[in-house]
Amino acid sequence: MEEIMLIEEKHPDKKAEQLFERLIGIEKQKSDLVNCLGVMFNKEIIIKWQKDHHSKGLKFLSDILSEMPLIILSGEVGCGKSALAHSVGTPVAKGLGKRLTTFETPSDVRGSGRVGELSARITSVFAQVKAKIIGEEYGILIIDEADDLATSRSQNQAHHEDRAGLNVLVKQIDAINRDKKNLVVILITNRVSVLDAAIIRRASLHLIFKRPDVKERRGVFQYLFDGIDLKKTDLAKLVEASATNTVPFSYSDLIDKIGKQAVLKAIQFNKPFCPAIYLEILKETEPSPSVD
C-alpha cells in the first residue's frame, strides 16, 4: 500500500499564531481547547493541583490521568473548527515550552474502497504519527470530516468495511496511552449525530460550534471595521441586516465571503471600504446551507 501523505506543521509558528488570534466569536472554545491540551500533555499540572487543593487525594483522579487522548470539535460549517484545530498547536507549544507537531490526514484517507483498505490506511496513519512522536516530543493528529471514518455501526447504510475501519480507529485511539505517546487526536465533524457512541464516549472534551448570534455578529463587524470610524447607527444596521429568518450567516460567510467581496468592490470602484458597500453585498448574499 502506498504511504499516506500526512500534512505536517511545526509549532510554535507565526502564521498559526496569527490565525489563532484572528478567530473571533469562539473565545470559549479557544480557551477550553488550549487548557485541555495543556493538561493532556502535562499531567504534572493535575498532580500539583491535587497537592495544592486536595492533600488527602481524590479517588477518581487516576481516571482523569488515564483519560482517552481524544477531542471532538463539532458543529456548523464555517464556524472555526478546522482553523482552530490547525492553529491551536502554537499556543499549546508556547505554554509547554516545547516543540509540537500537528499532523492532518488527507482528504483521500478512506482510499478507493478495496477490501481491508480503510483499516490498513487508518493503521498506517497512526503508525506514521507515533513513529515521529519520540520521547518528549508532542503531537496532535487532526482528522477532519471524521464522520467519514467514525460513522455509527448502527447506521443502516454502514458497510462492513466502515464498521471494520471504525473498530481499528477505536483500537488505535485506545493504544495511545498504552504506548505512552504524547499524542492527542482531534476529530472534526459537521455531523456529530452520526458518530459512533464508542467514539463519543472516549472524548475527554467535546466542543460545539454554532453560527454567530446577535452579540457575536456585533463582534464580527467591530473586527471587520477596526480602524474605521464605525458609527453606532451603522453597526446597528449591520447587525439587523445580518439577521435571517432561516439559516443564520456563519463566521466564514460574514468575514471570508461577504467581507472579501466588499473589499474587492471598494478596490474596483476606488472607494474606501465602508459599511454601505458591505451592506450592499450582504443583502445580495445567501447564508451557506446548514449541514443536518
- Rounded CA separation 87/104 (Å): 12
Cβ count within 10 A of residue 110: 18
Q: Which residue blocks in the chain are alpha helix, DSSP H?
A: 14-22, 27-41, 44-53, 61-65, 81-87, 89-96, 117-132, 160-178, 197-202, 214-224, 232-241, 251-252, 260-268, 275-284
Strand order in the sheet with 138-143: 7-11, 100-104, 138-143, 183-189, 70-75, 205-209
* CATH topology (fold) of 7-209: Rossmann fold (3.40.50)
Find the mean pLDDT for residues 215-238.
95
Find the mean pLDDT for residues 180-203.
90
**pLDDT per position as a tens digit, 73-112:** 999 889 999 999 999 999 999 999 999 999 999 877 766 6
**C-alpha cell belonging to residue 12:** 510554535
- Rounded CA separation 136/100 (Å): 10
Where exactly are the structural domains of the chain? 7-209, 214-284
> Which helix (H) or strand (E) element contains residue 103?
strand 100-104
What is the DSSP secondary-structure string of 222-269?
HHHTTTS---HHHHHHHHHHT--SSSPPPHHIIIIIIIHHHHHHHHHT
How would you label 77-99 residue by residue, b for 16+ Cβ within 10 Å and e otherwise? Answer: bbbbbbbbbbbbbbbbbeebebe
pLDDT of res. 3 = 73
Reported as a pLDDT band with limits 50, 70 and 90, residue 215 is very high
Reported as a pLDDT band with limits 50, 70 and 90, residue 172 is very high
Relative orientation angle of helices 89-96 and 14-22, to the nearest 10 degrees: 110
- How far from 28 is each of 11, 32, 35, 245, CA to CA, in Å? 22, 6, 11, 26
> Position 241: which residue type?
A
Instruction: Inform me whether the pLDDT recorded for 196 exceeds 90.
Output: no
pLDDT of res. 156 = 44
Find the mean pLDDT for residues 60-79.
81
pTM: 0.89
- Rounded CA separation 137/38 (Å): 14
Reported as a pLDDT band with limits 50, 70 and 90, residue 145 is confident
pLDDT of res. 46 = 76
Mean pLDDT over the full length of the chain: 88
